[in-house]
Structure 1
């Protein structure tokens, strides 16, 4: 039923299209058309002024208000728009040198605020299709159909044939089939086959914090329904095949669509060979209308008209164009390269040029012949450039991924203005591809062109200089990025610099092969840390830092700031990926000494923070508190903007030591302050401090008797962490929230959070948190289903993992849960062994927050051993310790057990009074398990106390 009160929106109808500008919606025959926001804005302006000439500057002012953009932005977005509309001349006319006019009839109307058919909501990272696909309808349908049943489909053909275009079109057609998304993994930029798992993980959102990344990725994909598009596999064929086979072996609902110049030769592979675009047969003598029914000719005509605005295929040209397309084997890229020269040579001249360059051998064209055809066409097209432009193009081949005009200028030794002019010329000739975003245009070389240019770069002896300039440029950009991190919103920063990751890898590989570049390689590594940290690529960061750490001595940089920063990050990443190893602490102490000697305050603060974290989570709570106090004192004197980081971690120390009222007062006061004082839009110390604050506070609130407030804090923080998109921050709050729900007895909510944590740990390979997820899953199963042998095994295994990784904080509590579960299973002796160990660790580490609960469980074991008096004394001690620590919720549990023990005896009245006094201190939480139990017990005790 329609909501008649909902306001209607303007709509414009033309041909099969409906445009709703206010919703940035364009629909064709009821199906959404995917188009960039700027291209849609251009269409809106033209349609609103249908029939009128709209000048170029007027369009730029309307579509990019307040931004300085080059006219090439307008041209690229207009080309994308025209291609999306299909028969572009029917809708948009170009007035040469002046602007554009919308020429189709337009009917104004209204549309409901919510369209009747929404675009598919499946997640994906497919690029917006800005190019019309010619002559591939059957191939696209065949691939889409094959993926219904086949696990792996490979689109195979020579370079430039159009494999990627067809694969992306097929993937977009079936995006709705895959509930967990369709994800494009571009393997073209990779030089090292070992990085194939990294590329897959990054595309699907698996953070690279695991040493065995492929195993982590496979585990994450186990229950996913997803399509992976592995594009350009040929140069990393073995690695791509290995990854595909391992993924498909375990993930039964995952499909893989690959593009390659040769089959992967993998199990379950179905090969779809892609032929050239169909061309008219020789001697057919077609006129223009007949020739345009052939897709190769249609592609030529469209690209030629883009280059020469008034070009139309004539009857006289039709046989020559048909012959050109046949000579080029119907290869899409070769045809595009040829068509862009129609303005220089005309069709007859092109025919003559290509006849000399591309010979047609007798017999059927095979793959290698097509390779030679494309190579000859690329070589011919580049040969038509001026020497300066050709040199410029060759230099661009050193980029692994997209680049901007400034980067192009840097590697080609040209100014940005000069680079922009040449890039526009090269894009017009299809030698450079353009990618559109909201404000800027980035450029890239197609892999076939890039490969040819790399060969030419080597042949001209220009590789070393271009690679050197590239490495220096990447270093400068990432050093600037690191300086900007504190001043730009994290999402903007990531969007601006995320594309640099492949170029960073390439630059590091180049500098690693030349001893003279040791210092540059070290600078690159340090500059890259901000990028790796932002995207939670902890394992890659650890490996890269490890590779250069051993070169400091020979580079004469031992004991310098370079050495200090590398040691700091090596230690930090090791803690996240391999656990709290003593070597990490040793490395941190070395970095701290250098920071003190060199007077580097920022690094001193970072070292102190990481040392304090290490000490807290290895159980050295007193030492950790002293370290964080030293951090706070230094911050107060040198950088007050990061004092809140110290406050949060002081709260962690007070939590572990059982100083709960102090911790709550500190954290609540911090929460009320304006959090903009952090002076950073990003994450300075591995995790968002606002999320860290909420993480600690939620546990402190529960322990001090505010379970409802604790739950609200957890829910708000989880939501904020998801919006923020920082993996380690989200992992923190999920880890802290699990026990809050578990302690409250809300097992359904706890199960949801544990599932999120399990998924997150698997997705991002955060080894230090894996045992925590395992522990709470087992504890939940034990609480719901009983203390089975499997539950006990998993609890014990998780505790062993905590111990193995030296993660000893909270260990007494974990052991108390194991002991209580063993007791419920009737394993009294094993329960006693676990609780004795818990008591020993609690006293050794001064784990004051958990000691009351450990004592309560010990009392239950004593009672099972028929030591009632000792059990009562233990419960009284538990209550006393809880009161001293300010843990009202643990005190309630001990009071419940004491009242249960003393009921029906001469101490029943005392027990009832004790329990009632504790319950009366709660102002919320009536729905929690413990308060419900206490209320029921008090009602029972009151009933038995009444006479008669």
Structure 2
């Protein structure tokens, strides 16, 4: 029988006997075992109950340390099933940061701040995300710890990518990758919720595409996929599949490949309960349909994906979504609607600083304005 099942049974036994300290210990063990075996919902159940019981235990440094472990493990489980941006995810990591401060625990502070960084990044709160990632790098540089430097270069590189600072983003991501060894850093996926090597390579592939190096982007993307499959950590694999296997073909305007990958990823997301990745891939599948001639059906799916993404609290990627949706409206001959979507996207860029797609937004706006002017002239000529 699995150790996790035994731990869960022992937790129930001790809780019934009102030995809450032992019950908490076994609930933590059951939660951690479930997380390692990718039983995310089961992990959340055990960890949430453990935190409830901890409330009955007198507050001591040991109890605070126990709660910190619970909150960090709970955060990693919530990332998988409730999303990076769920209020309870942010709450778990904020509480973990507070507990680290009370305990002066710098080792646990890195995964806690990392979780909080990801929460703000996916909510497109880029100023906060940038401040957190810079703080992480400064702390890592002071410590000189290669493991902490690896994670902090990754967080700052990813943040700068979304801010449109591609050259500096590339430098940080490459520094992080140079420090990564899968044999040594596999535990990161458990404590941080994502493997740092997979994430760094995945984002670097996107950066290289944006900088105009499509072949290097393809190579780094393939490295990311190979590593993600080798590690077999479902959340890291889902992240990589979405951004490399589905999104890079979209950038290359390969609708059939995008459709096939996104469709498979939707099934993978449903199997594991990865809600946010299901919505992202629904959007990408919709884009592919518009390019394959099923324009109205595709636009409907794009809107569904974007609405679902925002419903879970995520706002990152919105300019990208709106750009592709505006282009789909151009294909459908709906120029006015397309221009309205682009104005919304440019307003988002102005408000939150997500400059990644700004140049493409202006290019599309120019194209749609030309199309609008041409249509107006044609109508005038027809009347004459």
TM-score normalised by the chain length of structure 2: 0.89
Q: Which residue of 1 is the match for residue 285 of structure 2? A: 777
- More RCO (CA 8 Å, sep 6+): 2
Equivalent position to 1:568, from 48, 72, 75? 72
Structure 2: distance between partners of 1:632 and 1:670: 11
Residues 70-81 of structure 1 mapped to structure 2, 5 A cutoff: none
Is 1:747 aligned to residue 252 of structure 2?
no
Q: Which residue of 2 is the match for residue 670 of structure 1? A: 176
Structure 2 vs 1, CA of residues 664 and 725 (structure 1 numbering), >3 Å: closer, same or farther?
same
Equivalent position to 1:543, from 31, 45, 49? 45
Structure 2 vs 1, CA of residues 677 and 779 (structure 1 numbering), >3 Å: closer, same or farther?
closer
Structure 2: distance between partners of 1:629 and 1:724: 28
Is 1:581 aligned to residue 89 of structure 2?
no
Structure 2: distance between partners of 1:686 and 1:866: 50
Shift of 1:569: 3.1
Q: Which residue of 1 is the match for residue 309 of structure 2? A: 802
Contact in 1 for aligned 2:5/2:30 (Cα 8 Å): no
Structure 1: distance between partners of 2:260 and 2:182: 34
Equivalent position to 1:720, from 227, 235, 244? 227
Residues 166-245 of structure 1 mapped to structure 2, 5 A cutoff: none
Is 1:658 aligned to residue 164 of structure 2?
yes
Contact in 2 for aligned 1:535/1:726 (Cα 8 Å): no
Secondary structure, in 3 states, of the residue corresponding to 2:192?
coil
Secondary structure, in 3 states, of the residue corresponding to 1:761?
helix
Shift of 1:677: 8.8
Q: Which residue of 1 is the match for residue 378 of structure 2? A: none
Structure 1: distance between partners of 2:72 and 2:269: 24
Q: Which residue of 2 is the match for residue 338 of structure 1? A: none
**CA offsets 1:213-271 (integer angstroms, 9 cap, x no match):** xxxxxxxxxxxxxxxxxxxxxxxxxxxxxxxxxxxxxxxxxxxxxxxxxxxxxxxxxxx
Contact in 1 for aligned 2:186/2:231 (Cα 8 Å): no
Q: What is the alpha-carbon root mean square deviation over aligned residues?
A: 2.2
Structure 2 vs 1, CA of residues 659 and 818 (structure 1 numbering), >3 Å: closer, same or farther?
same
Equivalent position to 1:760, from 268, 277, 280? 268
Structure 2: distance between partners of 1:529 and 1:635: 29
Q: Which residue of 2 is the match for residue 791 of structure 1? A: 298
Secondary structure, in 3 states, of the residue corresponding to 1:785?
coil
Contact in 1 for aligned 2:160/2:168 (Cα 8 Å): yes
Contact in 2 for aligned 1:592/1:604 (Cα 8 Å): yes
More strand by share: 1
Shift of 1:815: 1.0
Equivalent position to 1:647, from 138, 143, 153? 153
Secondary structure, in 3 states, of the residue corresponding to 1:560?
helix
Q: Which residue of 1 is the match for residue 105 of structure 2? A: 600
Residues 894-909 of structure 1 mapped to structure 2, 5 A cutoff: none
Is 1:617 aligned to residue 93 of structure 2?
no
Contact in 2 for aligned 1:575/1:584 (Cα 8 Å): yes
Structure 2: distance between partners of 1:821 and 1:761: 25
Structure 1: distance between partners of 2:30 and 2:105: 20
Structure 2 vs 1, CA of residues 669 and 594 (structure 1 numbering), >3 Å: closer, same or farther?
closer
Structure 2 vs 1, CA of residues 568 and 627 (structure 1 numbering), >3 Å: closer, same or farther?
same
Secondary structure, in 3 states, of the residue corresponding to 1:769?
helix
Q: Which residue of 2 is the match for residue 527 of structure 1? A: 29
Residues 276-675 of structure 1 mapped to structure 2, 5 A cutoff: 401=1, 499-516=2-19, 518-557=20-59, 560-579=64-83, 580-638=85-143, 639-671=145-177, 673=178, 675=180
Structure 2 vs 1, CA of residues 791 and 752 (structure 1 numbering), >3 Å: closer, same or farther?
closer
Is 1:729 aligned to residue 236 of structure 2?
yes
Structure 2: distance between partners of 1:861 and 1:689: 40
Contact in 1 for aligned 2:32/2:73 (Cα 8 Å): no
Structure 2 vs 1, CA of residues 864 and 525 (structure 1 numbering), >3 Å: closer, same or farther?
same
Shift of 1:678: 7.8
Structure 2 vs 1, CA of residues 765 and 587 (structure 1 numbering), >3 Å: closer, same or farther?
closer
Contact in 2 for aligned 1:658/1:848 (Cα 8 Å): yes
The aligned length equals 368
Shift of 1:666: 2.2
Shift of 1:867: 8.1
Contact in 2 for aligned 1:533/1:686 (Cα 8 Å): no
Structure 1: distance between partners of 2:104 and 2:196: 25
Shift of 1:778: 0.7
Secondary structure, in 3 states, of the residue corresponding to 1:809?
coil
Structure 1: distance between partners of 2:362 and 2:149: 36
Q: Which residue of 2 is the match for residue 136 of structure 1? A: none
- Structure 1: unaligned runs, 5 residues or longer: 1-400, 402-498, 869-948
Secondary structure, in 3 states, of the residue corresponding to 1:551?
helix
Structure 1: distance between partners of 2:306 and 2:112: 28
Shift of 1:691: 0.9
Structure 1: distance between partners of 2:294 and 2:201: 32
Is 1:819 aligned to residue 323 of structure 2?
no
Q: Considering only CA atoms, is the larger Rg found in Structure 1 or Structure 2?
A: 1
Structure 2 vs 1, CA of residues 728 and 583 (structure 1 numbering), >3 Å: closer, same or farther?
closer
- Structure 2: unaligned runs, 5 residues or longer: 376-384
Shift of 1:771: 0.6
Shift of 1:786: 4.2
Residues 47-66 of structure 1 mapped to structure 2, 5 A cutoff: none
Shift of 1:689: 1.5
Shift of 1:698: 0.8
Secondary structure, in 3 states, of the residue corresponding to 2:54?
coil
Residues 111-150 of structure 1 mapped to structure 2, 5 A cutoff: none
Secondary structure, in 3 states, of the residue corresponding to 2:90?
helix
Structure 1: distance between partners of 2:209 and 2:185: 30
Structure 2 vs 1, CA of residues 634 and 521 (structure 1 numbering), >3 Å: closer, same or farther?
farther
Structure 2: distance between partners of 1:584 and 1:716: 30
